[in-house]
């Protein structure tokens, strides 16, 4: 049974549409400039559609807070962290050198779809930076949802 989300947001790469279109057109235009059999031309266009769909899905970061977990990431990798494990929670400006996407930067696992701000926190195993369009709201939701240690 899936828990109801207390907070849910998506962060989308700002130039997503032109990038997806460019990926598709790069494959769709190949048959125009080459004399290929019809089945091969259709195959190349289908590869363009699949590549564009993959790029589209990778460029959307999802963040969801439930009563017991924080889940964030992309469709292929979304860590689900129990709220009691979260510590050192704060708002940060994610450095431009950290880049966009999912990667490691200065010992932090960074998840973001565009430059800007987000939240930073640690767990017993890892440190994370997660991009957010409204980090103040996300921080207040997490502070409220995380159980207090006695």
pLDDT tens track for 68-113: 999 998 877 788 999 999 999 999 998 888 888 888 888 899 988 8
In this prediction, residue 5 carries a pLDDT of 80
Domain range for 49 is 10-58
Sorted by sequence, the CB contacts under 8 Å of residue 50 that are 6+ apart come out as: none
Predicted TM-score (pTM) of the model is: 0.73
**Dihedral class, residue 9 (left if φ above 0, else alpha if ψ from -120 to 50, else beta):** beta
Domain membership of residue 1 (yes or no) is: no
Domain membership of residue 45 (yes or no) is: yes
Domain membership of residue 4 (yes or no) is: no
Quote the percentage of the chain above a pLDDT of 90: 33
- Is the domain of 122 the same as that of 67? yes
Higher pLDDT, 60 or 26: 60
Q: Is residue 123 scored above 80 in pLDDT?
A: yes
In the chain, the number of structural domains is 2
The rounded distance, in Å, linking the Cα atoms of 111 and 64 is: 13
DSSP 8-state code for residue 142: H
- Is the domain of 83 the same as that of 112? yes
In this prediction, residue 70 carries a pLDDT of 92
**CATH number of the domain where residue 112 is located:** 2.30.29
Q: Is residue 150 scored above 70 in pLDDT?
A: no
Q: Is residue 31 scored above 60 in pLDDT?
A: yes
How buried is residue 51: exposed, middle or buried, by Cβ count under 10 Å (0-12/13-18/19+)? middle
- Is the domain of 28 the same as that of 87? no
- Is the domain of 72 the same as that of 107? yes
* Closest C-alpha among 19, 128, 113 to residue 71: 128
- Is the domain of 49 the same as that of 67? no
């Amino acid at each position: 049974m899936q828990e109801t989300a207390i907070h849910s947001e998506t962060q989308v790469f700002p130039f997503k549409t032109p990038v997806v279109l460019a990926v598709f057109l790069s494959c769709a235009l190949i048959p125009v400039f080459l004399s290929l059999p019809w089945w091969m031309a259709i195959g190349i266009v289908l590869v363009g559609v699949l590549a564009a769909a993959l790029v589209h899905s990778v460029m959307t970061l999802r963040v969801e807070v439930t009563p017991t977990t924080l889940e964030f990431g992309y469709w292929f990798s979304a860590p689900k962290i129990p709220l009691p494990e979260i510590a050192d929670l704060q708002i940060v400006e994610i450095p431009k050198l950290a880049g966009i996407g999912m990667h490691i930067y200065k010992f932090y696992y960074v998840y973001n779809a565009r430059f800007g701000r987000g939240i930073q926190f640690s767990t017993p195993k890892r440190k994370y930076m997660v991009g957010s369009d409204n980090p103040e709201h996300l921080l207040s939701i997490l502070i409220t949802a995380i159980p207090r240690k006695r």
